Amino acid sequence: MELMIPGAAHLSLFISAAFVLLLIPGPAVLYIVGRSVEQGRRAGLVSVVGVHAATLVNVVAAALGLSAILASSALAFSVVKYAGAAYLIWLGLKKIFGRVGAAADGAPGMSHHGYGRLFRDGFIVNLLNPKTALFFLAFLPQFVELGRGHVAMQITFLGLLYTVLGFITDGSYALAAGAAGTWLKRNGTYLKFERYVSGLLLIGLGLTAALAGNQKK
């Protein structure tokens, strides 16, 4: 079983590189922060679980070689890229023009979603981001030791380790943003413009994904 995972040197390097990459905010992190500010820490953590449930799907895909197909097919890449971008834009438009709900504490202007909805949205946001699959294709093989064999098992192990690290870093983002959200929700100006700021942020993320994803790096 020892031969089915990379050696200690490769693992140490992988963990260091993964932490650096995970601490750089991307669409999933911004989504988690937005939900945490809007609904609190628990909602943010549920969103984290949804995001990394999708990460596990990408781990399985990478291990089975499906991400290689995605990387080599311009059509597959475009379909997933634009589907993900459209979903982010749809979330943003719904945020801006949707019905405003009441917050749990009675504050106006704050719309809340159930945990099932939060999990689903986090899952879809990450699953429909083609760069996630491409990341695993480009990043994980660098830390695989061919001499140990079981390449698929090594990729799976590294992917699961990355998911655990991602849950830690994204969970930290959720907790910090949830704490900040408690203060922000007492700010009248924030309550007035929050839906527009959050909606425009989601739309911006969708447009960025659509316009900047043509190069498969």
For CA atoms 111, 33, 139, 210, give the dihedral sign.
Answer: positive
Give the per-residue pLDDT at 99: 63
d(C-alpha 217, C-alpha 103), whole Å: 42
- Show the 3-state SS of 71-128: HHCHHHHHHHHHHHHHHHHHHHHHHHHCCCCCCCCCCCCCCCCCHHHHHHHHHHHHHC
Exposed/middle/buried for residue 75 (C-beta within 10 Å: 0-12, 13-18, 19+) = exposed
d(C-alpha 48, C-alpha 22), whole Å: 13
Ranges 64-68, 156-160, 167-171: which has the least confidence: 64-68
- Contacts (Cβ under 8 Å, ≥6 apart) of 204: 92
**pLDDT tens for each residue of 50-90:** 999 999 998 888 888 766 666 677 677 677 677 777 887 88
| pTM for this predicted structure | 0.68
Give the per-residue pLDDT at 189: 65
Give the per-residue pLDDT at 169: 93
pLDDT reading at 145 higher than 60: yes
pLDDT reading at 216 higher than 90: no
- Contacts (Cβ under 8 Å, ≥6 apart) of 120: 50
d(C-alpha 129, C-alpha 198), whole Å: 19
Contact 130, 70 (CB under 8 A): yes
pLDDT reading at 16 higher than 80: yes
Q: Which residue has the tokens 């988690």?
A: 32
Give the per-residue pLDDT at 106: 34
Q: Output DSSP code: residue 146.
A: G
Domain boundaries, the chain: 30-212
Exposed/middle/buried for residue 96 (C-beta within 10 Å: 0-12, 13-18, 19+) = middle
